[in-house]
Amino acid sequence: MTAARLTLPSPAKLNLMLHILGRREDGYHELQTLFQFVDYGDEITFAVRDDGVIQLHTEFAGVPHDSNLIVRAAKMLQQQSGCTLGIDIWIDKVLPMGGGIGGGSSNAATTLLGLNHLWQLGWDEDRLAALGLTLGADVPVFVRGHAAFAEGVGEKLTPVNPEEPWYLVLVPQVSVSTAEIFSDPLLTRNTPPIKVRPVPEGNSRNDCLPVVARRYPEVRNALDLLGKFTEAKLTGTGSCVFGGFPSKAEADKVSALLTETLTGFVAKGSNVSMLHRKLQSLL
């Protein structure tokens, strides 16, 4: 029998580039982006219960229990698998909400993979990723756990292996509304698609950056400060800003200078998520 209690990491992701090709008839935007994980994230603990109840014990300000992506993921998996077991869930939350580093999507994916393991459902990655897509466009990349070039709304994934530098990620104390950015009339929506993988140098921009920087001075400030030391980029629609460094020592040095006034963290880029490395060790 599988251990009835399990703690798993729920890592952050970065968008190394983000191009917006156009708006679709359904209102979503056609994208091309490059996802990479970092070895930094939340930790979620699961304990199986036999009464079918799904209970998240950690409260999220402003998010009702049943609206939380963790609970929604657990309930959907329970319903679609016909599983009669339940789960108690606790989360040690370090990833900011509205930061563009995939916190909620990552939590949902860790929940799907964790419960598939604990409930012994035997679902494969394709099936879990398809279920994850109904919860959010970024959930499948976390379910699959490998750096990927993504197309469509972000769900068509091609595994890639970009460099794995050390990153300094700055976290401006502002939550950026993705919907607001994607509805901005000044957003670039006509970037020509690229076919080369992995994405070549010179194609590493984020089409959302000019809009976000204009609307959010806190993000603009972080980009300016980090930009003095390395190429500063926006992940997703932000608010988090990041830059790559060849060594931890160099990232730590710049972090020490900038985190006196800004919140941030240093983490290693990783093409295989730490969640999947942990799951592999359980097999």
Between helices 248-258 and 217-226, what is the axis angle to 10°? Answer: 130
Catalytic residue among 75, 92, 124, 138: 138
- Which one of 13, 42, 207, 233 is the catalytic residue? 13
User: Which two structure tokens, joined as six digits, stand for 211?
Assistant: 């809009």
96 annotated ligand-binding residue: yes
104 is in an annotated binding site: yes
Q: Is 280 helix (H, G, I), strand (E, B) or coil?
A: helix
Residue 152's contacts (CB-CB under 8 Å, 6 or more residues apart) are 30, 31
- 247 C-beta neighbours (distance < 10 Å), count: 10
Is residue 54 annotated as involved in ligand binding? no
- Retrieve residue 4's tokens: 């009835």
Residue 143: CB atoms within 10 A of its CB come to 27
Q: What does the block give as tokens for 252?
A: 């730590």
Q: Prior bond to 281 cis, omega within 30?
A: no
Q: Give catalytic status of residue 13 as yes or no.
A: yes
Tell whether 99 is in a known binding site: yes
Q: Is 138 a catalytic residue?
A: yes
Beta strands in the chain (DSSP E): 5-23, 29-49, 54-56, 86-92, 148-152, 156-159, 166-170, 233-234, 241-245, 264-270
Is 238 annotated in a binding site? The answer is: no
Q: Which residues are annotated as catalytic?
A: 13, 138
Report the binding-site residues for ATP.
Answer: 96-106
Report the binding-site residues.
Answer: 96-106
